[in-house]
Amino acid sequence: MKHQGPFVYLASQSPRRRELLTQWGVRLELLLPDADEDAESLEAAHLNEAPARYVQRVTALKLEAAMARLKRRGLPAAPVLCADTTVALGRRILGKPADAADARRMLADLSGRAHRVLTAVAVGKGARRWQALSASSVVFDALTPTQIRRYVDGGEPMGKAGAYAIQGHAGLWIRRIAGSHTGIVGLPAFETAQLLRAAGLSIL
């Protein structure tokens, strides 16, 4: 594929990250794991690991796997972008729900309380690495069991950290956010632009 101007490899399955980069005028190509790569195991948390430390460690691991993938496939050189988002309730890490019951439990725990959304971003180019962390606070309204059940039955929480998507129906429950809306979606605009500029991309 021929490229006009600079582009970035996005090593993420997330359609939301892809949409955000496109909105910002960043040209991208997906750099997704091979079928034999165990990408899920990279997301395992260590015992008593602090959420901020966890999300930065996982993002760095994802980046190294993506850089190795780029080299293995013999693709043209370009910056590689990775990100990971986690929801933290105190020191507790709320990752992607294992099933519907797990999603209902997470949402019940978040109901009426403030939690943090942490998104780490990392960019690699050649031997160089840049990383940043976005931390936001989100306050949910008190949710009824019926609201939670309907939301989970709709399928939106699956595959989402903390069992919700701010850009979906869960946005109706959010009383207040402090921080980065795009960071909560999964790719913080300000930090991502800083890293891509550092890697030589021309961004507004």
DSSP H or E run through 31: none
Residue with tokens 């790569």: 37
CA-based radius of gyration for the chain:
17
Q: For residues 182 and 175, what is the distance between their CA atoms, to the nearest angstrom? A: 17
Q: For residues 54 and 127, what is the distance between their CA atoms, to the nearest angstrom? A: 23
Q: For residues 187 and 181, what is the distance between their CA atoms, to the nearest angstrom? A: 9
Give me the phi and psi of 156, to 5 degrees please: -60, -35
Examine the residue annotation and report whether 84 is marked as an active-site residue of this protein: yes
Which one from 84, 99, 102, 109 is the annotated catalytic residue? 84
Hey, which residues are catalytic here?
84
